[in-house]
């Protein structure tokens, strides 16, 4: 990649970050009372950071062998007053040994996609990002953000939950019958701070809306299918036993780069409906076709929404 291309990408990213910082500063969020305690009953726990490599950009284009997109739009999205999101990106973990580089960039890209491409209201998005002083992504604050979603959402609303960071697996007493459980890893990066898939299932179990999109860019994220329910889509950057990668050339998690940056923001995933609008399934298909051209990673999806979902 030439230095001119790298410079142009850096300038464009800087411009977008300035816009997003203004969005961050303009938002205020009232934090509700926490309702969940830490789960300390887990064994054989492995916390696995997203793997950072130099890498290079793939060729782009192409379609996966089996597509998630049907080419038929499902129920139209509600107006912006009825759309809510939590976006989490953790690059800076407690201490220095566990830090990664681009999960915060993933979160900012998702924020840009929701607000600028899809018209979400900024004050309807709870952002938790470790590299800014708005809200840190501790275990308590992640749970607080989910409680905030529950407080605000209603039947027929739309909810997006996005996470980029480390993944974990182990044997957890999290309310399900799985032998091996998967988890997201809050800022503390300790066994006792993990939020397991069974915990997330419980936290989202009494939401009124059935229109929920979960997006996980983390190792072992393919195991997050515990969250499956009618009307929900679970987008997972890897398989249940697979790793998630980020690269310096893309300055993103590889999955988020193709799913959000190219697929949604640049509009390159408009390959099925070809109507200028990107559905979740189209963005997933685009990422699934392109991620393996850069790293040994296989995105997966659990789609219980009728036809294709336009957020």
**CATH number, domain with residue 251:** 3.40.50.1460
Give residues with Cβ within 8 angstroms of 305, minimum separation 6: 74, 211, 231, 232, 233, 280
CA nearest neighbour of 245 among 116, 124, 106, 78: 106
Q: Is residue 17 part of a domain?
A: yes
**pLDDT of 6 strictly over 50:** no
Q: Is residue 309 part of a domain?
A: no
Domain total of the chain: 1
Distance CA 240, CA 258 (A): 20
Confidence of residue 71 (pLDDT cuts 50, 70, 90): very high
Confidence of residue 34 (pLDDT cuts 50, 70, 90): very low
Please, what is the end-to-end C-alpha distance for the chain in angstroms?
A: 34
Percent of the chain at pLDDT exceeding 90:
74
DSSP H helical ranges for the chain: 3-25, 103-112, 139-152, 197-203, 254-256, 280-290
The answer to whether residues 52 and 101 touch, using CB atoms and an 8 Å cutoff, is: yes
Percent of the chain at pLDDT exceeding 70:
83
Handedness of CA 222, 226, 227, 228 (dihedral sign): positive
Q: What are 74-115's pLDDT values in tens digits?
A: 999 999 999 999 999 999 999 888 999 999 999 999 999 999
Distance CA 31, CA 51 (A): 33
For 166, the token pair is 């480390």
The answer to whether residues 100 and 50 touch, using CB atoms and an 8 Å cutoff, is: yes
3-state secondary structure of 104: helix
CB contact burial 24-45 (16+ within 10 A = b; e otherwise): beebeeeebeeebebbeebeeb
**pLDDT of 280 strictly over 50:** yes
The answer to whether residues 169 and 34 touch, using CB atoms and an 8 Å cutoff, is: no
300 phi and psi angles, rounded to 5 deg: -135, 160
Domain residues for 235?
Answer: 3-303
Task: Specify the DSSP element, H or E, that contains 52.
Answer: strand 51-53
**pLDDT of 33 strictly over 70:** no
Q: Is residue 311 part of a domain?
A: no
**pLDDT of 281 strictly over 50:** yes
Distance CA 32, CA 153 (A): 14
Q: What is the mean pLDDT of residues 231-242?
A: 98
Give residues with Cβ within 8 angstroms of 96, minimum separation 6: none
Distance CA 213, CA 246 (A): 22
Q: What is the mean pLDDT of residues 182-186?
A: 97
∠ CA(183), CA(186), CA(192), 5° rounding? 70
Q: What is the pLDDT of residue 208?
A: 98
Confidence of residue 13 (pLDDT cuts 50, 70, 90): low
**pLDDT of 221 strictly over 70:** yes
Q: What is the mean pLDDT of residues 31-55?
A: 68
Q: What is the pTM of this model?
A: 0.87
Q: Is residue 14 part of a domain?
A: yes
Q: Is residue 262 part of a domain?
A: yes
Q: What is the pLDDT of residue 7?
A: 40
**Edge-to-edge strand ranges of the sheet holding 195-196:** 42-48, 167-172, 181-184, 195-196
**Range among 126-140, 166-180, 185-199 with highest mean pLDDT value:** 185-199
Q: Is residue 308 part of a domain?
A: no
For 94, the token pair is 């407690």
CB contact burial 160-175 (16+ within 10 A = b; e otherwise): bbbbbbbbbbbebebb
């Amino acid at each position: 990649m030439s230095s001119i291309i790298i410079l142009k990408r850096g300038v464009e990213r800087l411009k977008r970050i300035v816009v997003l910082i203004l969005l961050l500063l303009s938002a205020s969020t009232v934090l509700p009372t926490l309702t969940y305690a830490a789960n300390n009953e887990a064994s054989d726990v492995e916390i696995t950071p997203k793997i950072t490599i130099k890498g290079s950009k793939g060729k782009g284009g192409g379609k996966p062998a089996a597509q998630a997109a049907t080419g038929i739009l499902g129920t139209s999205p509600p107006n912006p007053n009825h759309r809510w999101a939590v976006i989490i990106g953790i690059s800076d973990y407690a201490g220095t040994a566990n830090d990664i580089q681009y999960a915060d960039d993933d979160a900012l890209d998702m924020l840009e996609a929701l607000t600028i491409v899809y018209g979400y209201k900024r004050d309807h998005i709870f952002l938790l990002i470790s590299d800014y002083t708005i809200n840190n992504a501790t275990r308590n604050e992640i749970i607080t953000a989910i409680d905030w979603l529950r407080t605000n959402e209603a039947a027929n609303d739309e909810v997006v939950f996005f996470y980029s960071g480390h993944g974990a697996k182990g044997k957890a007493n999290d309310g399900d019958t799985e032998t091996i459980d998967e988890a997201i890893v809050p800022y503390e990066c300790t066994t006792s701070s993990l939020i397991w898939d069974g915990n997330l299932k419980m936290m989202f179990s009494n939401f009124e809306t059935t229109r929920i999109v979960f997006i996980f860019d983390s190792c072992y994220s393919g195991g997050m299918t515990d969250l499956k329910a009618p009307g929900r889509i679970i987008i997972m950057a890897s398989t249940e036993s697979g790793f998630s990668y980020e690269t310096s050339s893309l300055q993103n998690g590889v999955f988020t780069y193709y799913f959000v940056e190219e697929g949604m923001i640049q509009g390159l995933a408009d390959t099925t409906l070809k109507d200028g609008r990107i559905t979740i399934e189209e963005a997933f298909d685009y990422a699934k076709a392109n991620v393996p051209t850069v790293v040994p990673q296989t995105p997966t999806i659990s789609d219980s929404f009728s036809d294709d979902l336009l957020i």
